[in-house]
Amino acid sequence: LASTVFNGCWTLPQLFVAHLLTGKPRKKPVMLAAMPGRVLPLVIAIALWTGLGRHPTSMLILFFTCFGLFAISDGVASVPWYDILGRTIPANRRGRLFGTSQAIIGLLGIGVGALVTLILARQAFPGSYALLFLLWGVSLLPSTAALSLLWEPPAAVDHAEGARAARGWMKRVARDRTFRRLMLCRILFSIAGLATPFYAVHAVDALGLPESIVGTFVIAQTAASIVGSAALGFI
């Protein structure tokens, strides 16, 4: 459910944000307006530490509310971020940029997986999860500062053209065969991805493995992504 809530809340608002930003000369203000959502992991951590974890229903309501709102804010911010990226990074460098950055993130992710394994093995709920959410919230601070300092190049905007594009964007999407095929592939990948969260649940509930096995899954998944990112980024 957490995976489904995150993906739904992250993607659906982007349709409306993209429509809103069409024809606007500056997109960064919308990205900055979504930044307060990054404090929500800390709210979850505080709730766990103050004892709300002893009340499962209330804790789940708070968790999914904060998790969903975080996904919405991150999804809203991603639309102007990709637009700015497209105007600042030449097309022939984007693949290498993403491939290299994802490989570096993957290397760091292996360390994160080991840390998750250690925390879950040595500390019981709710303290273990409170610590994980705290670390997640703290890790967002450097990127939040970096995004606020991001330089947005000026965009030449034809307001009349922007207004026409805003009115006819759905028709253009429907007529664009390449775009439709891209969206179909993404939907199929997402459907396949629905199974991913259940591997950890099955390992713990059905196979009787310790909860710390989640960290091992993170390491395995991250190691594979390093190889894929490094190769496909340059391709």
pLDDT values of the chain reduced to their tens digit, one per residue, 235 residues: 888 899 889 988 888 898 888 878 889 999 999 999 999 999 999 999 999 989 999 999 999 999 999 999 999 999 999 989 888 888 888 888 888 888 888 788 778 878 888 898 888 889 999 999 999 999 999 989 998 898 888 776 655 555 565 566 667 777 888 988 988 998 888 888 778 878 888 888 899 888 778 778 878 888 887 887 777 777 7
Q: Are 34 and 77 in contact (CB under 8 A)?
A: yes
Amino acid letter, residue 226: I
Alpha-carbon gap, residue 35 to 147, rounded angstroms: 9
Q: Helix, strand, coil: what percent of the chain each, to 5?
A: 85, 0, 15
Alpha-carbon gap, residue 108 to 112, rounded angstroms: 6
Q: Identify the DSSP state of 50.
A: T
Angle at which helices 159-175 and 2-21 pack, to 10 degrees? 140
Alpha-carbon gap, residue 87 to 96, rounded angstroms: 16
Read off the tokens for 132. 């994980």
Number of residues written out for the chain: 235
Q: Rg of the Cα trace of the chain?
A: 20
